[in-house]
Chains A and B, each alone.
Chain A
Amino acid sequence: EVQLVESGGGLVQPGGSLRLSCAASGFTFSAYEINWVRQAPGKGLEWISYISTRGITIYYADSVKGRFAISRDNAKNLLYLQMNSLRPEDTAVYYCARGDQKSVAFDIWGQGTMVTVSS
């Protein structure tokens, strides 16, 4: 079964750090671009980061640029999101989402991991 499973979420104080992981299975992870998308409680979807198949090309949304870092380990089928200088407005469910090879859409999503930034 093609699957993405996020982990690493939790409660963190403002200014703190957290690293999220996304474990891929059921497909050739190294052949796919991957993204992180978040959703604040009761709100819509916000794309926050992209990484190319070999990790050479990376993009960020302005809202996280300079604070978050995306990376991947193709040997371990893992995607990461290092989140630093966290703010209350970063509170959200964080999803990893696979880039569709036929288009620029996201064809497979994980179930999400909740990050709460609060004192």
Chain B
Amino acid sequence: EIVLTQSPGTLPLSPGERATLSCRASQSISSSYLAWYHQKPGQAPRLLIYGASNRASGIPDRFIGSGSGTDFTLTISRLEPEDFAVYYCQLYGSSPPVWSFGQGTKVEI
């Protein structure tokens, strides 16, 4: 079973700053199988990035996904007030077919 580890657990920043979130897999994975979501309090998660670097529909270009192998990064170039939330990376594993999430990174003011 592949485990995703996100860091840091909490990221205190201010609006306008750059946020860099890490997601590390316990073994090498296909970039096609890595996604990022964010979740605001009391709301459902929202897809931000799929295939490690592709922005989902309606997602602003300040959200940038990158990485390969075991190390993946979500960068938010300039934080807007609405970006303060918990961010999760997600992996699809084909043997057996399961989806797993990292434990989350909270981006807070």
Q: Indicate, yes or no, whether A interacts with B.
A: yes
Judged by DSSP, the binding face of A is strand
Interface residues of A (CB under 8 A from B): 35, 37, 44-47, 50, 59, 61, 95, 97, 100, 102-107, 109-112
Total count of chain B residues near the partner, CB < 8 A: 27
B88 touches A44 (CB 8 A): yes
Interface string of B22-49 (1 = CB under 8 A from A): 0000000000110101010001111100
B contact residues vs A (CB 8 Å cutoff): 32-33, 35, 37, 39, 43-47, 50-51, 54, 56-57, 88, 90, 92, 96-104
Chain A nearest CB, measured from B11 CB (Å)? 16
- The answer on a CB contact under 8 Å between B88 and A45 is yes
Least CB distance from A6 to B in Å reads 10
Counting from the closest, the 6 A-B pairs by CB-CB distance are A105-B35, A104-B92, A109-B44, A47-B99, A105-B50, A103-B50
Closest Cβ–Cβ distance, residue B94 to chain A (whole Å): 9
Query: Are B47 and A107 closer than 8 Å at their CB atoms?
Result: yes
- Known: A100-B50, A105-B90, A109-B44; 7 extra A-B contacts, CB below 8 A, are A59-B97, A95-B45, A103-B35, A103-B54, A105-B47, A105-B50, A105-B51
